[in-house]
Structure formats: C-alpha cells, structure tokens
Amino acid sequence: MTIEVRNIVKKFGSFTALDSVDLKVGKGELLALLGPSGSGKTTLLRIIAGLDWPDGGEVRFDGENALARGAGERHVGFVFQHYALFRHMNVFENVAFGLRVQPRAVRLNETAIKKRVNELLDLVQLAWLSDRYPSQLSGGQRQRIALARALAIEPRILLLDEPFGALDAKVRKELRRWLRSLHDEIHVTSIFVTHDQEEALEVANRVVVMDKGRIEQIGTPGEVYDNPATAFVHGFIGESIVLPVDVRDGRVELGGKPLNLEPQGAGAGPSRLFVRRHDMQVGPAGSGVIEGAVRRVRAFGPIQRADVALPGGEGETLIEIDTPRDRELNPGDLVGLQPRRYRIFSAST
Amino acid sequence: MAQLDLITPVAPVRIREISAEHDARTEPRLIRLSIIGIAVTFLSIFVVLPLVVVFTQAFSRGIGAYLAALAEPEALSAIKLTLLVAAISVGLNLIFGLAAAWAVAKFDFPGKTFLITLIDLPFSVSPVISGLVFVLLFGAQGFFGAWLQARDIHILFAVPGIALATTFVTFPFVARALIPLMQEQGTQEEEAALSLGASGLQTFFRVTLPNIKWGLLYGVLLCNARAMGEFGAVSVVSGHIRGETNTMPLLVEILYNEYQFVASFAIASLLAMLALVTLVMKTILESRLQEGQVPRDD
C-alpha cells in the first residue's frame, strides 16, 4: 500500500499544526516522522489514520481518497503512545477485539479467531500472557500486545505513535531491534513517530524531519545525517558545533576576521556555520582557519572534551570540541581548528 | 561480635523510655481520646439516635400494627408512586447524565464550562424553588397552562409533574459521578476501538460502558436515593391528593400531622432502610471504583 499526502493543512484555533505538508510513502517502507514536540508529526499520523481531519489537502492510499473513509474503514493499524489497551479485557480479548467487531457477514468464527489471536501472540512472543489484564503487564509487554492488536485486522498500513516513548532505555533498544526485524518479516507499509533521532536513524528506511508543521527534509538516515538540507536539520540531527558568521562579498567572516571557507551559496548577511564535532580537526595554533583558546578540559571516556573560546564580534563564543585522550591539552593553550566538512546556512533559513 | 554485644541492649531500653513518656509519632492519649469522643457523641446524637427513634416508634405497638400501617391503601399507593417516580427519573437521568458526561469529557466545544455549571444548578437551588418553576411553567396561570388545559393534559398535581420535579432535582448525580471518571480515562481506548473497525455503538457497549459501569451504578444509586426521598420540590407540585399524588416522604408528613405516629414512622422506617441499603452499596461501589482505577504506565 502506498500513501500519498498532498498539501495537508491543519489548524487548532490560531495554531497551525500542519502547514501544507506533502509526503509520499512507498509500498513496504518503514518511515520515521522525526521532530521536536509541537512539530506536527503526531497530528500528521492521526490524519493518516483518520483520527483527525485536515482543514485542507488530500490523503490517498494506493491513489484512492482516504478522507472519504472513516478510521474504521481504512484498515489502518494504529499503536498509541500509551498503548490504549482495553483495561477491562484480558490480553486475548484485546487482540481479538478487531476480529470480533467485524460485520457478521465477514466475521471469523470462534475457532478461527482463536487460531488467529494465538498466531499473533506467538508473533509477539507473549502467548503465555493471554489471560492477564493490561494492568498486570510491563510497559514493553503492553507495547507488543498493542502491536498484536493492531496487526489482528491485517492492516494495510501500520502507524505507531512514539512506540518506544514510555519505555526505559534498555527495553527500548530491544524493542527497536525487534520492530525492525518484525517489519522485515511482515513487510506492511509502516510509519512511526518519534522525537528520538537515534531511534529514527536506526530503525527507519527513510526519515522525514519535521519542524513547526513543515517537512524540513526527507531522506535515508545517511542522507539526513550527512547532507542536512536546512540549518534546523543540521542542528537537530547529530551533534553540531554552531558558529555565528557573516557572509560578505562572497567571503565568510567570524568576528570581523575573514575565514578561508566557502560560503556555499549562502546569501550576504548573518549566517551560521555548522560543523559536526567529529569533523572539527584540532591542531596547534596556526594549523586551522579558526583560532581559539582552551578554557576547560575534561576526560570523557576514550576522548577528552574541551571548551574553546573563539573571538567573536560581541564577546566570545564558547564551543565544545573532542580530541583523543593522548593529545595533551591544557587550559590556556591556543589551538587551531580546521573543519573537514562544514555547512553554511543563512540565518534566515 | 564484641561491638554488637555492646550495642544491642541499648536500643530497646531507649524505645521503652520514649513510649513511657511521650510517643513522638502520635498525639497525647488525652487529646486522642477526647477527639474520638467528640466524633462518636456527635454521630450518636445526630445519626444513630434518630435512626433508633424511627424504628422504635414504628414498632411501638408491635409488628402487627407496623405491617397493618404499611398495608393501608394510602401507604401502598404512596410506595407505588414513589417507586414509579424513582424509576422514571432514574431512567431519564441515566440517559441525560451519560449524554452530558460524554459530551463534557470527550469533546471540546464552546460553552463547555457553562454546561458544567448548568449541570450543577439543581444542587444549588432550593428544591422548593425547583418545584415552583414547574408550577410557573405548567400551572393554570403558568406559561403552558392554557395550552395544556385546552387539551386536557394534566402535568401539575399528577404523576408527570412529580416525575419532572424529581428528575430536575436529581439530575446532577449521574453526570457528576461520570464526568471525572470519563475525563481521567480519556478518549484513547475509544479511538483504538474505532481504528480497529468498531462502530460507534460497538465502541460504546464494548469499551466505554464497561469502563464506567461502577461509576454509572454509583451515580444511579445516589440518584435513586434522592429521588425516593425528595420532599420539597415534590411537595410543591404534588397537590397532596390522598391515595393519588402522595409520595412516601409526603405521606410521612401528613400522617405525622394527623398524630398517626405508628403509620408515619412505619413509612419513615422504609425510607430509613433505603438509606441504609444505599449506604452499604455505596461503600461496596466505592471500593470497586478504586480497584478499577488502573495506574497509568510510565
């Protein structure tokens, strides 16, 4: 099943949650919607599921207008952030729910329902919990039951809202790997929402980065990390060193001093220089285009992290750099910094 | 070992010393006893004593007189009317209360706060005023009076008027019991049911209703107790027609004023028993409600 979202607008009062969003999801993809809270990612997911309605735009499943159908008619499996398991039903009945509410003409008989539910519980490896109630399960178990329940209706699309948000770090990592392999197994077109970049980069085939109701970039995990399209994406994904610079006459200046760097098409005026921390090469004074003074050094596992003060137009800018532990670095030392790779974005973008 | 031997005898001695003088964990004995005493005396005078009086008065001429008083046609008619009115008003309030609670808890709409205030109105208005409103609406000089008279429809001084007044007075119980419960449960389970293909009715009967059943019963119970015991509003609209429009509380007053103490207290004892049963069921339901509150996972 392919999903196509065209020009979707959604407003809550005066707040614009989605601002003309376009998105195409291919068959069998596992797509991540990544963004900070308030970026509109959950709203977009709920609109695709039919739990919210857009103020304008189109949603198409395999070319067919999905907005003409209610949530129940879209055959979408939805996994809620807090699982939303039916608290008065045991695990078996929770998973069976979607099968039991089918119209009589197409409803499976009791034996077939039993068989199907047991298959699903085996798939999520929790068959031994079928008599328990949701309140007796751990967070990770609830999550997997919620997934089994969503899969029971043989959804054409699987939507997951912050699937790992409410879990502790260890369970989260396990479930992440498990979801990835489950998707390889059942291959249903899936979208999940997350604010955790590591989760998005590790699990998804493609990542959609969102901010303030707009899509900033769509690409594979490698693309969004290596070639961020906007300043927001560069700052949001991975750790970056950000320096306020000025572009004047096709040259890049830091605190009034020209730097030997390409402006990369950024227009004249205040801009920002982004460098991944591991792309910043640290050498003795004079070895790089930027000079700085070490303020503070601390050991940090295999590396040491140093605060370096750079002369700026107004006061100084403090940045954090990493160097290997064997390199001697003391407060007061002057160092030269040379970005191996960098991006410059106009401050207005 | 040597150290242990030194320390162990010290601790128990110190504890004994403290408790002999004053246990810091609680109030002095005198204060504790007097507070408990005040509470018990107060409860005895204001709750237990009246209850005892009702029953001793009711049985003062033996169980035969008691049963005879209840078998009087006037008494039977009052009991029937009370049950009928309670059934109507509880039934109506069950539907209204559910609808109102659903609207308030699951949807956002302009005027929501106003609606919540309106739901509470019957609690803040004197029941006599509530009754008077219906007199002003349906009485002979009232708003609809002429229209009703022309069609020979009797609302005031008849069963419909009593049922209306009772329904009005008891309206908040079901809604009040459900709103916090439904607000706390949110709409996620309903959304999950919808996305799994359930229809609106299936969602209501399979998901919403099971989740709120104890709260609903709680509201119905309190609503019923008040409906059967309502005096003020009913007194205004009833007309006190003997054997026709007297409910149990009204009959209690009439019989008492006629110095028929046994008969009066016999009816009152029924109402007192209703109160006791309600109290027990309320306690059971409250514990059920607490069990039903599943802690949210995080």
pLDDT of residue A121: 93
Distance from CA of B184 to the nearest CA of A (A): 13
Nearest to B270 by CA among B254, B285, B251, B245: B251
C-alpha B124/C-alpha A92 separation (Å) is 47
C-alpha A238/C-alpha B55 separation (Å) is 79
Q: List the strands of the sheet with A290-300, edge to edge.
A: A280-284, A334-339, A290-300, A303-311, A316-324
Interval B67-83: pLDDT, tens: 998 999 999 999 999 99
Distance from CA of B171 to the nearest CA of A (A): 28
> How many CB atoms within 10 Å of residue A170?
9
For residue A331, the one-letter residue type is P
Q: Is the pLDDT of residue B182 over 70?
A: yes
Nearest to B182 by CA among B212, B222, B214: B212
Element (H or E) spanning A58, and its range?
strand A56-61
pLDDT of residue A314: 63
Interface of A with B (CB under 8 A): 49-51, 70-78, 80, 82-88, 97-98, 101-102, 134-135, 139, 142, 149-150, 152-153, 166
Kindly state the percentage of chain A with pLDDT values over 70: 98
Find residue A253's DSSP bridge partners: A246, A258
C-alpha A202/C-alpha B76 separation (Å) is 77
The reply to whether residue A84 touches residue B295, judged by beta carbons under 8 angstroms, is: no
Phi and psi of B154, rounded to 5°?
-105, 120
pLDDT of residue A295: 87
Q: Please give the ipTM for the structure prediction.
A: 0.82
Cβ contacts of residue B244 below 8 Å, gap of 6+? Answer: B77, B81
C-alpha A148/C-alpha A152 separation (Å) is 6
The reply to whether residue A87 touches residue B197, judged by beta carbons under 8 angstroms, is: no
CB-CB: which of B188, B196, B199 is closest to A97? B196
What average pLDDT score do residues B217-231 get?
Answer: 92
pLDDT of residue A67: 92
Interval A225-242: pLDDT, tens: 988 999 899 989 888 888
Cβ contacts of residue A259 below 8 Å, gap of 6+? Answer: A245, A251, A252, A253, A289, A290
Interval B22-61: pLDDT, tens: 677 778 888 999 999 999 999 999 989 999 999 999 999 9
Cβ contacts of residue B253 below 8 Å, gap of 6+? Answer: B231, B235, B264
Kindly state the percentage of chain B with pLDDT values over 70: 90
Q: Are B179 and B219 in contact (CB under 8 A)?
A: no
Chain B residue numbers with beta carbons less than 8 Å from the beta carbon of A85 are 189, 192
CB-CB: which of B188, B197, B198 is closest to A84? B188
Chain A residue numbers with beta carbons less than 8 Å from the beta carbon of B296 are 82
Cβ contacts of residue A302 below 8 Å, gap of 6+? Answer: A324, A325
Q: Are B203 and B190 in contact (CB under 8 A)?
A: yes
CB-CB: which of A139, A153, A166 is closest to B196? A153
The reply to whether residue B297 touches residue A139, judged by beta carbons under 8 angstroms, is: yes
Name the closest residue on chain B to residue A93, using Cα atoms: B206
Q: Are B297 and A139 in contact (CB under 8 A)?
A: yes
Q: Could you list the mean pLDDT of each consecutive 10-residue stretch along chain A, which spans 349 residues?
A: 93 91 93 92 94 93 92 91 92 94 90 94 90 92 92 92 84 86 90 91 93 94 91 88 85 81 80 88 83 86 85 72 82 87 81
Q: Are A175 and A6 in contact (CB under 8 A)?
A: no
Q: Are A294 and A332 in contact (CB under 8 A)?
A: yes
Q: List the strands of the sheet with A157-161, edge to edge.
A: A76-79, A157-161, A189-194, A30-34, A206-211, A214-219
